[in-house]
Structure 1
Amino acid sequence: MPGFSTSTTTSSDATRGLLLGLAGVVMFALSLPMTRLAGGSVAAPQLDPAFVAFGRAAVAGVLSLAYLALTGARRPRGGEWWLLAFTAGGVVFGWPLLSGLAVRYVDAVHAAVISGVLPLATAVIAALVLRQRPSPAFWACALAGLALVVGFAAWRGAGGLEMADGLLLGAVVCASAGYVSGARLSSVMTAEQVICWVLVLSLPITVPLAVMTRPAAPVVPSAWVGFAYVSLFSMWIGFFAWYRGLALGGTLRVSQVQVLQPFLSMLLAVPLLGERLDAMTLVFAAAVLAVVWVGKRQPVH
């Protein structure tokens, strides 16, 4: 849910902003590996992906409730509730559940490449919602990014595209839509308040669903480590660092570090999960990164 601040910043603020933005990206980069650690694979399942998705939002929602109370944040008004609900659909329910299901069937390295088009997808949805007119080069980059991830998925899949690839693309769309609606809210409340109200609004749904899908049998301790990480960092603390970085360093400057996220996810998945990183996967990831980087620099009127 990044905002779009263009205010000038001092050199010190810019440096702090970049460091905080990078810290947020590193936290988010660990999300896919930690989600797979929590849920396991089809061959060795651990926590139910639904429990991971709803449980992490419930934990972060309780923390958000305390944060809003301690900071005396104002209550949302009128149509803000609808935007919060739409944002929740994307970043609280859509992305965590679909991506969590996907990494049961494909490894985190695979998922990182597919989700690498997230920044470009967000720009596409923002352009459509705001009725902007992107340049032909922008649309060319968007189509190229989609072609690359579909091509990668077909290459990695034993018989072409797999169900998990569809889930990942659906997760990207959900997250992108949630980011755009959240960005609209960040013009009337702080970005930290946006993510907190989104999580608090979701509590009447996430808490019962988390209880219903809680594990009935013991799981390995590492699964709980993964769950704790995505609850505290992916769903909550990461947003605070990311948004504070955007505010201090400027959105246009700091948001560029997000293109590093797929590479960081892949590199971190190797030691954490023992996954293999081959040369062709790196080539596809680099191509996706390049397309996203170029696309984000194309004019949008």
Structure 2
Amino acid sequence: MERTSPLNTPAIAKSTSGWINGFIGVLIFSGSLPATRVAVLSFNPVFLTVARASIAGVLALCLLLLFREKRPARSQLLSLVVVAIGVVLGFPLLTALALQYVTSAHSIVFLGLLPLATAVFGVLRGGERPRPVFWFFSVLGSLLVVGFAVSQGLSASPRGDILMLLAVLVCGLGYAEGARLSRTLGGWQVISWALVLSLPVMLALTGLLAPSSFTGIGTPAWLSLAYVSLFSMLIGFVFWYRGLAQGGIAAVGQLQLLQPFFGLALAATLLHEQVSLGMLGVTVAVILCVAGARKFSR
């Protein structure tokens, strides 16, 4: 008994630090969809995607050079490519395209499925065997999201809803793969190397897709581009992957359940978008389903 306390103290401190870092990451990510919604009003969605990745990639390269980080092992390259496809290209592009058809408040409801998607890919990658109750909650949560989309008039914006569902899937894969890789490569190094691997292609596409003139693009659009480039694409992941590595994927990953609430609050406050009781109700119900799925994931 005498040896338990000193051995557990560092573990408790590490877990607490993980929760704090994860919470900061979720707060940062919560502003991504509202900022993207503002940016796509002035920028082409594809240009916005490659531009934000290019800006973040240059900064990530500077960080890696500054701290003289060693290159990832050859066996880690495939996982880094998966992370890049999921969170550097896939999620930003698909959400930017979706936000041409739906409001950020509408799209944020879909984020209630993100912890579930991360858990499912964590099961597939980690070989875990969840209890049957886990799948009950996962299916129920999915049905709630589909039902909400249909009730809002699916024929009015089918593209937006489908794009958001695809975005959640690729992001869940990127989160799970990045969290697994962060155990050996390091938290902030994972997103930095993923950005650097994508940088040559992203820089080329940025130059190719850049508008002939930036005249008429207002300050809100530029600030939104800066936010999604610096915070959503890089700084948020520094805290997020560090939190996952310190506190554990299953535990800290539950903090994603707070993201829809923060996002809805930002959409209502900053963009003056209407957040209906139906949206709030579905968001709460989906979050409860995901929380139940998480509880029975092992």
TM-score under structure 2 normalisation?
Answer: 0.91
**Correspondent of 1:196 among 188, 192, 199:** 192
Partners of 2:210 and 2:267 lie apart in 1 by: 26
- The aligned counterpart of 1:97 is 93
- The aligned counterpart of 1:290 is 288
- The aligned counterpart of 1:262 is 260
Which residue type is aligned with residue 174 of structure 1?
V
Map 1:168-183; keep pairs closer than 5 Å.
168-183=164-179
Change in CA separation of 1:165 and 1:49 when aligned onto 2, cut-off 3 Å: same
- The aligned counterpart of 1:31 is 32
Q: Which moved more, 1:237-246 or 1:14-23?
A: 14-23
Which residue type is aligned with residue 212 of structure 2?
A
Partners of 2:155 and 2:184 lie apart in 1 by: 48
**Correspondent of 2:219 among 218, 221, 225:** 221
Is it true that 1:69 corresponds to 2:65 in the alignment?
yes
**Correspondent of 2:273 among 272, 275, 279:** 275
Which residue type is aligned with residue 30 of structure 2?
A
**Correspondent of 1:138 among 134, 137, 147:** 134
- The aligned counterpart of 2:5 is none
**Correspondent of 2:232 among 230, 234, 245:** 234
Partners of 2:251 and 2:142 lie apart in 1 by: 25
Q: Report the alpha carbon displacement of residue 12 of structure 1 after superposing the two structures with TM.
A: 5.1
Change in CA separation of 1:237 and 1:33 when aligned onto 2, cut-off 3 Å: same
Partners of 2:253 and 2:90 lie apart in 1 by: 23
- The aligned counterpart of 1:3 is none
Q: Report the alpha carbon displacement of residue 255 of structure 1 after superposing the two structures with TM.
A: 2.8
Q: Is the 8 A contact 1:9 1:248 kept in 2?
A: no
Partners of 2:25 and 2:221 lie apart in 1 by: 22
Partner SS state of residue 73, structure 2:
coil
TM-score under structure 1 normalisation?
Answer: 0.90
Partners of 2:51 and 2:34 lie apart in 1 by: 17
Q: Report the alpha carbon displacement of residue 256 of structure 1 after superposing the two structures with TM.
A: 2.4
Is it true that 1:205 corresponds to 2:206 in the alignment?
no
Q: Report the alpha carbon displacement of residue 136 of structure 1 after superposing the two structures with TM.
A: 0.9
Q: Which moved more, 1:7-16 or 1:209-218?
A: 7-16
- The aligned counterpart of 1:22 is 23
- The aligned counterpart of 2:123 is 127
Q: Is the 8 A contact 2:179 2:244 kept in 1?
A: no
Partners of 2:275 and 2:130 lie apart in 1 by: 35
Q: Which moved more, 1:240-249 or 1:289-298?
A: 240-249
Change in CA separation of 1:242 and 1:211 when aligned onto 2, cut-off 3 Å: same
Change in CA separation of 1:78 and 1:250 when aligned onto 2, cut-off 3 Å: closer
Partner SS state of residue 222, structure 1:
helix
Q: Which runs of 5+ in 1 are unaligned?
A: 1-6, 41-45
RMSD value, Cα: 1.9
Q: Which moved more, 1:245-254 or 1:108-117?
A: 245-254
Partners of 1:250 and 1:97 lie apart in 2 by: 28
Partners of 1:14 and 1:129 lie apart in 2 by: 23
Q: Which moved more, 1:237-246 or 1:91-100?
A: 237-246
Aligned length: 289
Q: Report the alpha carbon displacement of residue 11 of structure 1 after superposing the two structures with TM.
A: 5.4
- The aligned counterpart of 1:4 is none
Q: Report the alpha carbon displacement of residue 16 of structure 1 after superposing the two structures with TM.
A: 4.1
Partners of 2:105 and 2:267 lie apart in 1 by: 7
Partners of 2:23 and 2:56 lie apart in 1 by: 21
Q: Report the alpha carbon displacement of residue 74 of structure 1 after superposing the two structures with TM.
A: 0.9
Map 1:154-173; keep pairs closer than 5 Å.
154-157=150-153, 159=155, 162-173=158-169
Partners of 2:9 and 2:50 lie apart in 1 by: 39
Q: Report the alpha carbon displacement of residue 250 of structure 1 after superposing the two structures with TM.
A: 4.6
- The aligned counterpart of 1:148 is 144
